[in-house]
Chain A
């Protein structure tokens, strides 16, 4: 809890430093951190700080002090509490603690940290949806089992889904599996982006099964479209 790092004593300092260097190496890092006044403005506006043992100030300060032990702890735990609302962009030092957290999360995923895998457990179906269909929260995701706390209204929607979708005047919205009708060519271009930018490799690090399923969906379509996957691998 808090700033206690002893839980990660078994991880070598070199490994923590290696990950920290990756964070610092991100081009955005220098634009997101200019030091810290320790003023607490970011904490005052932070929704996650109200409900979790979490503080954007700790994160900005640990990074500013280059405390690789603490950064490692935050990268494994706290970053997943952040709401990514960017209220903390109010920082008078012009930091973006939320942006720093985006980078920390990205490094955690890219390196396949167990904590990242745990944080993303149960989230795979959503990654699958957005990466394979180009839209994220599709109508057919409104199932009572997925949203029990939203009450019987979700059941009503799911039972009427195909009719209620047809009862939408915009022609692109008659879909149930995607939020709107995305053209085939558009999807191929999206798949190309995931491949060329190394996103598929990131998925492999955190969820091999999901990676296999996505590859199955994408490979054929990309080859049909004449994209040479071997040649598109990131340098």
Chain B
């Protein structure tokens, strides 16, 4: 019997969390205790920040500006319009940020794929990046959900193990860097969520006819689940509110589908060396189900691996006449488009695989004219008239 998705979404149950009833101690308290004991410095969330509710109903502080952007290797490497859109949004909203060179990847993609590392190395990589952020005074904002999830894991391991803290301290001393733990581990989609009303206030497109499905990223809401943001007004507080609340604030329609909890099929090692699994899962459990049950104009997600997997996996499926053809964007790109960003200079949609032009048309964006502008930019680069495209060029 087919699943009645509409009925699922009509549940009248709304969950209001009472943090007093949660048995585990707040992570932030434990982080601050270790500071009081002299174990590390806690990098405080800078003002102004927005107070959001996490899964247990506890307050999570999300900074609006003065952020150190912990970039994602998969976003910057293969879907660079993702990171560019995050920066562009900051610039348009007049928020101060740093895009550091003193940053490595969290290296967790490799760790989850190959296990050629260990707890001490992973914790040292995390704390090296945290220290680099602290030294600039800017607060880490983490672009990748896997980095975010992994750093939350690392924080738990460090909180639980004096021995691990000792090992990492020894390494940090060799690097002459301080032991620093941020007061909160913040994913960029939490920042978008916190800034969504500002984004909506700047939107230049009417999105009321756009139907979107949402894929919540596993490492965002499943791995150390406590940190994820929930809101009783979004899905009755039963699923994470990030992404969905942003789309609603922008006036788009959010359509539901029955396999929303499933992962995308990325698999870390699978996407690189065993893609038959990735393709099958992404198409059969996600894209085809969305198509069948919601027929969206776009699917929106908030992580590197999810955009890559859901987008790239559709090519081979199309050759097999499967029901595919849903463009995949991050909410950062969708917000940027809504605020009038250039689809190619800023959102860099030419790096995506599944056709985005019908979506752009429906959003009221003249993609032909915008593509011609981008092609002209590339010609100027080739002729040596400009060395790089600048932020000023992007908005010209």
Contacts and interface: CB of A to CB of B under 8 A. Distances in A.
Interface of A: 26-28, 31, 45, 47-48, 50-52, 80, 83-87, 89-90, 102, 105-106, 108-110, 116, 119-120, 122-123, 126-127, 130-131, 134-139, 141-142, 147, 149-151, 153, 157, 160, 163-174, 178-183, 185-187, 189-190, 192-194, 196-199, 202-203, 206, 227, 232
A50 B76 contact: no
B71 interface: yes
Given A106-B118, A127-B114, 11 more contacts: A48-B277, A84-B113, A86-B222, A105-B114, A136-B73, A136-B77, A136-B105, A180-B101, A181-B101, A182-B104, A193-B121
B164 interface: yes
Q: Which of A52, A173, A196 has the most CB of B within 10 A?
A: A173
B337 interface: no
A209 B132 CA distance: 33
Interface stretch (B48-56, B293-301, B359-367, B374-382): B374-382
B262 to A, nearest CB: 6
Interface in B109-132: 109-121, 124-125, 128, 132
Interface string B304-343: 0000000010011000000000000000000000000000
16 contacts: A27-B161, A27-B164, A48-B277, A51-B277, A84-B112, A84-B267, A85-B222, A165-B80, A167-B374, A169-B394, A173-B76, A173-B80, A193-B124, A198-B121, A206-B116, A232-B174
Contact of A171 (B114, B312, B388, B394): B388
B390 interface: yes
Contact of B281 (A51, A194, A203): A51
Interface in B64-106: 71-78, 80, 83-84, 87-88, 99-105
Interface string B238-277: 0000000000000000000000011101111110110101
Contacts of A51: 277, 280-281
Interface stretch (B1-9, B10-18, B200-208, B348-356): B348-356
A176 to B, nearest CB: 10
B254 to A, nearest CB: 22
B285 interface: yes
A145 B296 CA distance: 32
Contacts of A87: 218, 222, 261-263
Contacts of A119: 269
Contacts of B272: 123, 126
A199 B116 contact: yes
Given A109-B114, A137-B74, A189 B128 contact: yes
Given A186-B102, A197-B121, A167 B315 contact: no
B101 A153 contact: no
Nearest to B346: A169
A47 B262 contact: yes
A45 B21 CA distance: 27
Contacts of B170: 196
Interface in B12-36: none
Interface string B154-198: 001100110110010011001101000000000000000000000
A110 to B, nearest CB: 8
Contacts of A134: 104-105, 107
Given A86-B149, A169-B393, A102 B157 contact: no
A141 to B, nearest CB: 7
A169 B87 CA distance: 9
A196 B160 CA distance: 21
B107 A136 contact: yes
Given A157-B351, A192-B175, A170 B99 contact: yes
Contact of A127 (B110, B128, B280): B110
Nearest to A203: B116
B261 A45 contact: yes
A197 B222 contact: no
B37 interface: no
B174 A130 contact: no
B345 interface: yes
Nearest to B175: A189
A202 B118 contact: yes
A109 B121 contact: no
B223 interface: yes
Given A27-B160, A189-B128, A190-B128, A86 B218 contact: yes
A137 B116 contact: no
A186 B104 contact: yes
B102 A47 contact: no
B78 A142 contact: yes
Contacts of A136: 73-74, 77, 105, 107, 109-110
A194 B120 CA distance: 10
A49 to B, nearest CB: 11
Q: Which of B104, B263, B312 has the most CB of A within 10 A?
A: B104
A137 B115 contact: no
A198 to B, nearest CB: 7
